Structure 1
């Protein structure tokens, strides 16, 4: 089976490729991608038998990648989801590998792939994608946020975050000190996982209400939201989200 590995962590890619090299009769790694957008292009161009797919990635996460595929290969998620999500994977008959991937667990995955390939079934029905993704919504809220800074992984306390903002396909976190970091989350995923003190005020912005200084009425039923962070950030609400902010702030 021809395989494409898709993961934004170089070490995870190298480890998985190394582990799969022990199964030359079953799997041939034909390409690797460092993010979801690159992975989508490779899958469309090369049409592999199987993809090993990370979930939280910049540009395009694993779920978003699957939603854009016209033809579905066998899908093996490489993930750190908790046991509730793992149960959902099993119920949908899609295999998963919890990081760090263990050789013994990978052996079971290869056996499942071998059987699926012999039966000529991919183990995934794209028509079930909506229900599948619904089952895999995060079950716990975030308590901190991990971001990459060079060769380091930084943990940012939620209390130190003033807001999140999407710019094209990237989502950035802004700290109260005015520092910006790239995240691996989409705005939609953050809206699901963040606690109630974070509220989405527009299609592209989620704000930490603990750092709101004042609100000013703006055109078309919108508001300008000024924060207490070091840059004194001023954010514009979207028309569809103004009522949500008003209720939260008891205006």
Structure 2
């Protein structure tokens, strides 16, 4: 297995690299000290496994995963134990507390080996995988506040830290979901992925104007302006044109 070490602490990366020498089937192919470096390394090296810290300058480990279209297997390595539940919600293989113990590392690697040799899982066919209709209502909870909101009333989904913020009426609740997860449930005829950080409701578009480098800027009704990425600007023109 090819592994990428992602941690802002050089000492932590060095210690983990040393521990991994005891596992000859694991090759450390690179290191990154922040999310930006990690994204580049992942594209270039295509690792099988990420050893990922949570707190890093310029973006957390959760934000890095949310920005990836396809993520390798992940083992979190962190000094904080309060994010364990969140880690498994994003399908992490394991959650190792620093300083990493060799027996815990061995157990985590056993999980990675099992996953890599497991037969492929067939796509789900249950009705739950079908996109929700714009007229469907969804339950939203943020702290002590709850809403039952119609999807057609939601104008924007936007990454905010390790959560996604929902814009409807004057409300801005946070939910523990990634944009990738939301895309599997939202109707693509109504909701459009504008960039790595935002999904917009096409029915809430107020105006569109050309932007830098052949991109687009969209103004939402009673809402913020959204800059569409270059790739998604091309797709938007293709999908929305006659």
TM-score (norm 2): 0.51
Whole-angstrom CA distance in 1 between matches of 2:153 and 2:206: 15
Aligned to 2:138: 145
Alignment of 1:37-76 (within 5 A): 60=87, 62-66=89-93
Pairing partner for 1:242 from 225, 233, 238:
233
Write the deviation string for residues 159-208 of structure 1: whole angstroms up to 9, x where unpaired. 11001111342211111x24211012101111111012101011111100
Shift of 1:222: 0.9
Q: Distance in 1 between matches of 2:171 and 2:119?
A: 36
Structure 1: distance between partners of 2:148 and 2:106: 38
- Residue 244 of structure 1, CA deviation: 1.7
Aligned to 2:214: 221
Indicate the structure whose relative CO is greater, using CA pairs within 8 Å and at least 6 residues apart. Answer: 1
- What's 1:97 paired with? none
8 Å CA contact 1:61–1:185 kept in 2: the answer is no
Per-residue CA deviations over 1:25-82 (Å, capped at 9, x if unaligned) read xxxxxxxxxxx97xx7699999xxxxxx97xx5xx45243238886667xxxxxxxxx
Which digits, 9 at most, give the CA deviation of each residue in 1:96-153, with x for residues without a partner?
Answer: xxxxxxxxxxxxxxxxxxxxxxxxx97x922157934x63596122333322133343
Structure 1: distance between partners of 2:140 and 2:107: 31
Please give the residue correspondences for 1:1-251 in structure 2 after superposition, counting only pairs within 5 Å: 60=87, 62-66=89-93, 125-128=114-117, 131-132=120-121, 135=123, 139-142=129-132, 143-175=136-168, 177-196=169-188, 197-228=190-221, 230=222, 232-250=223-241
Structure 1 residue 225 displacement after superposition: 0.2
- 1:188–1:68: structure 2 CA closer, same or farther, 3 Å change rule? farther
Cα distance in 2 for residues equivalent to 1:130 and 1:207: 36
3-state SS in 2 of match to 1:180: coil
Structure 2 counterpart of 1:95: none
Distance in 1, matches of 2:239 and 2:194, equals 11
TM-score normalized by structure 1?
A: 0.49
